[in-house]
Amino acid sequence: MVTVEQLQDDNFLSQCPPPLSLQGIRIPLYRFGSNSVLDNGSVGGISCLIEEEQSVLDSILLAQWEDRMWKGLFRYDVTTSEIKIIGGRRKFIAQFNEGWSRDCMPKLGKNKIRHQEDVFEFSWMERQEELLFCVASGEKLNPELVLSAAVPDCGLLITINSSPVEYGHVFLVPHSSNILHQFLDARSLELVLHVAVEVNNCSFRLFYDYSPSASHIYFQACYLQIPLPVEFMPLDTFFGDGQEGMRISSVTDYPIKTLVFESNHLNMMMEVLAEICLCLQEKLIPYNLLISDHGKRIFLFFQLQTSKNSCTLSAWECGGYFVVKSRSEFDQATEQALLKQLTTVSLDDEGFQGVKRLCCTIASKFAS
């Protein structure tokens, strides 16, 4: 059961001049229960809920996002975008969207976070209405919803993406003690996995794109009408920690080198993946994450190093979902062209074998 607490504040949606400071802001706050499935065992019993049993966190996210949609904070209505399945064995997905732009993503070189005299500011958020709510750990046994609260010391800020790729598209920005995280760490990953578990929606996907030049990290999430093509690909398991433990597999017959981590015990999988990502960051190997199946499946995509050592493709593109702005490009899209696009940026075979050995070494350490 989730408790709801109303504090005295009716102004949490008031306008705030750019850049947005978190000082004095009051927003809805969802606190996870202390009885965490990440810490206390298996989430194997979690399954898709029927509509009338929608989770509280799922309903909050969708309600807040839809509220901003009706208020006109998005550049376009993503529900009108045309989507099709590309003919071929992989069933890649293409979306025609003339309004979509990568420029609406937080450009970390241009949009800096200013931290001065305990005033925390986002220069890529222009108004408070773009900030939907916050999630954080709680001390009570069960989850708690506070309708109006100060931004907590440690949590995930949930903000809109004004140029959405799919329904409910949001940014999830880890922060603590007025400092945004620059690299992916276990704490940030734990919060995000907790979101995946408690949203408990089969359509919900989370994404992360590594950038070594980032002034802060952020995740993205949205609701997909159909699973991504990579989720249907065959797997070759090369590490298994017992029947009920974690499995690591490589995705076969797919153009970009990909590993899949699967487990009903999310805490260990989270710790293993966090250490693997840290090693990849130290080696400047660009990577992306796709989190699906209530956090029980995590796809790790590997891209070639570039002059900037940043990801060329986004996580959803690695998963087989492509957004195009040209009608002709949309109509003429072929599996062969998309295969080439993915293959061109993929880590080579030698590098992939090295990464698999690294994953086995780290996973074995946690399993022992």
What is the CB neighbour count within 10 angstroms for residue 124?
20
Residues 333-353 have pLDDT tens digits of: 999 999 999 999 999 999 999
Enumerate the β-bridge partners of residue 113: 122
**Where residue 177 falls among pLDDT bands split at 50, 70, 90?**
low
CA gyration radius, the chain:
20
Q: Mark out the alpha helices in the chain (DSSP H runs).
A: 37-40, 56-70, 186-199, 266-282, 315-318, 327-331, 335-345, 349-367
Q: Which CATH superfamily is domain 26-34+55-102+126-366 in?
A: ATP adenylyltransferase (3.30.428.70)
For residues 190 and 8, which has the higher predicted lDDT (pLDDT)? Answer: 190
Mean pLDDT of all residues in 245-251 = 94
Separation of alpha carbons 55 and 42, rounded Å: 19
Q: What is the mean pLDDT of the chain?
A: 83
Size of the chain, expressed as the number of residues it contains: 368
d(Cα 66, Cα 167) in Å, to the nearest integer?
9
Q: Over 60: is that where the pLDDT of 295 sits? A: yes
Smallest Cα–Cα separation from 265: which of 284, 242, 288?
Answer: 242
Which secondary-structure segment (H or E) carries 180? strand 179-180
What's the whole-model pTM score? Answer: 0.87
The CA distance from 8 to 223, in Å, is 33
How confident is the model over 277-289, as a mean pLDDT?
92
Rounded to whole angstroms, how far apart are CA atoms 166 and 328? 21
Angle at the Cα of 87 from the Cα atoms of 253 and 83, rounded to 5 degrees = 110
Give me the percent of the chain exceeding a pLDDT of 70.
78
pLDDT at residue 167 greater than cutoff 90: yes
**Each residue of 98-149: pLDDT tens digit?**
988 765 555 433 334 444 433 344 544 567 788 999 999 988 899 999 999 9
pLDDT band at 223 (very low <50, low <70, confident <90, very high): very high
pLDDT exceeds cutoff 70 at 306: yes
Measured in Å, how far apart are the chain's first and last C-alpha atoms? 36
Least confident of 74-78, 90-94, 148-152, 286-290: 148-152
As a whole-number percent, the residues of the chain with pLDDT over 90 amount to 60
The phi, psi pair for 229, rounded to 5°, reads: -55, -35
Exposure on the CB side of residue 268, measured as CA atoms within 13 A: 22
* Per-residue pLDDT at 111: 39
Q: What per-residue confidence (pLDDT) applies to 265?
A: 85
Q: Is the dihedral of CA 255, 233, 277, 132 positive or negative?
A: positive
User: Nearest 5°: phi and psi at 240?
Assistant: -145, 130
pLDDT of residue 70: 95
Question: 124 or 363, which is more confident?
Answer: 363
CA distances from 196 to 61, 63, 297 (A): 12, 17, 11
- 163 closest CA partner among 222, 76, 98: 76
Query: What local confidence, expressed as pLDDT, does residue 220 receive?
Result: 96
Question: Can you tell me the distance from the alpha carbon of 312 to that of 304, in angstroms, rounded to the nearest whole number?
Answer: 9
The whole-angstrom separation of Cα 127 and Cα 148 is 17
pLDDT tens figures, 12-63: 333 333 444 677 788 999 999 987 666 554 554 444 444 458 999 999 999 9
How far is Cα 138 from Cα 127, in angstroms, rounded to an integer?
A: 27
Q: Is the dihedral of CA 122, 124, 127, 133 positive or negative?
A: negative
The C-alpha atoms of residue 146 and residue 149 are separated, in whole angstroms, by 6
Phi-psi region of 266 (alpha: psi -120 to 50; beta: other; left: phi over 0): alpha
What's the confidence (pLDDT) of residue 242?
74
Model confidence at 249: pLDDT above 60: yes
Name which of 167, 101, 93, 161 is nearest 322 in CA terms.
Answer: 93
Say which range, 35-49, 86-100, 195-209, has the weakest mean pLDDT.
Answer: 35-49
What's the pLDDT score for residue 119?
37
Split at pLDDT 50, 70, 90, the class of 74 is: very high
What ranges do the domains of the chain cover? Answer: 26-34+55-102+126-366
Residue 199 pLDDT level (bands cut at 50, 70, 90): very high
